Structure 1
Amino acid sequence: MAWENQTFNSDLLLLGIFNHSPTHTFLFFLVLAIFSVAFMGNSIMVLLIYLNTQLHTPMYFLLSQLSLMDLMLICTTVPKMAFNYLSGSKYISMAGCATQIFFYVSLLGSECFLLAVMAYDRYTAICHPLRYTNLMRPQICGLMSAFSWILGSTDGIIDAVMTFSFSDCGSREITKKILSCNDTSIFEEIIFICCIVMIVFPVAIIITSYAQVILAVIHMGSGEGHCKTFTTCSSHLMVVGMYYGAGLFMYPQPTSYHSPMQDKIMSVFYTILTPMLNPLIYSLHNKEVTRALMKILGKGKSGD
């Protein structure tokens, strides 16, 4: 949107998913319930890993970063959606919209790269166990995590700046992006390239890492070793499949090929369901996390 034509405090009209019909009211409160579970689950995961020294390892540090990203992601859009729905307001300020776009895109991109780092961590632990402490020492682990945040934020800045660099034809209604009178083909190409980098590059790392893991497992002589390895990796693979499955279906195609409703459904999937399921998957498939949680709960009961 051209800055000379519009002030930064101008309000935009959000065309949301829910109206006040009985069905949509039920769906709205269902979203709030899922949001509550996701908020609590990811908060507990972050605190649990921070408080329990036995979980101060590269794998759990990266898991805490994933939970932190999920926690921030659900807080980016859902509270504003709930406020607008309950108050009857459908407007968002220009600054609020730009901020929301930045955080939403940044966190999605950061998770893409972080999942690739987590796959590399599992590859290193299984295929190079004797060198693991050196290859994944805290400095390197922290650096890879920081790069995930930086790369995701870079994509968020590009998306937010380019979205608001066009004039808006006088329209105040937005679904996924602001309606523009300008030719947006270059914008769509750049966003398409960003999506490819965010999806294809991390997926290539994940596939390569787990191909090596599978080969290493095949050469293991112990059946117990097979079971332990697959148990360790299964949680991450489930999260990767869930996260990238929808993204690979939706984003490697120009925006002119999706309908606004498809975009809304995708946004709900990424913003609500994935953050809710991630901590559940990791806690249910990880005995160390379960033991740490039981230990803290046990201390709480004994303190009472």
Structure 2
Amino acid sequence: MKTTFTVVLASVFSNAAFGQIGINTPTPIASLDIVAKRTDGSTAEGVLPPRLSGEEIKAGDSQYTESHAGTIIYASAPVRIPSSKTANITAAGLYYYDGKMWQRMLPGDPRKLNPQSAGDIKNSMQPSDHNGWYLLNGRSVSSLPSSAQTSAAGLGFTTRLPDASDRILKTRNGAELLGSQGGNNNMTITRSNLPDINLIGVVSGTAESAGAHIHTSDEGGFLLGGTNVGNNGSGHYQGNSDSSSWGGVGMMGSTAISGAHIHSLSGIATIPTGGVGATMDNRSAYLVVNTFIYLGE
């Protein structure tokens, strides 16, 4: 053990003068170049970062400043009572310090350290598929790479991907199927959609003037019943020379002058709205983007 340590130190110091350090290699090609000691599986190879519990990491909060951004450790247990820097240490795993707090290193794009899982959705200005993100344009699943096909099938998309073109995203409700589509960008209002109100309109026309006046007939006269007026004076109208016909019936060309009065008018008025039944755009003001689903690289 002592000999191995001496060899490592000698390697480190011998390369320090050249500005690069190599472990298990005499020709490092980076600031720190670690090469596997063996490749036959007889030894455990890799880099083992410091292992601390969440509480031990929190105890060193004051030691980590913005200059320590990029530091990597392995949390062997979550922190019990988190501080502002250790709030994200909720489970065992690798964490990196971003200059302000510890962030979990989850599976995802290794260049961004952003967590991503199959089925994640994002909106982007990217024009096409990229880094495991596939455009939701209703394409056939069989047109995707084999690994993406497997991820899609695991999400329930065995035939086609959903088509997000000209649609917004809606949170699932009840038994709705994920990826199902519904709704319409346009709508038409029917009578049952109208509010329960009375439309007020003006009925225009001419009625008899107020004050004393008579009424004339457009059909020759007004028939009167039970009267001696307008017949032969004996209560019989003798329009056909039969003295007994039309008993008590008379006729006058106009009514007598009546006292001051007016005539009221009631009825159903048709009030046109002036509309033509055109559909309305049901969308708010929008910004055009592409929608992608993550199916892995």
| Shorter-chain TM-score tier | under 0.3
Q: TM-score, normalised by structure 1?
A: 0.17
Bigger share in helix: 1
Q: TM-score, normalised by structure 2?
A: 0.17
Bigger share in strand: 2
Of structures 1 and 2, the one with the larger relative CO (CA 8 A, separation 6+) is: 1
Instruction: Give the number of the structure whose alpha-carbon radius of gyration is greater.
Output: 2
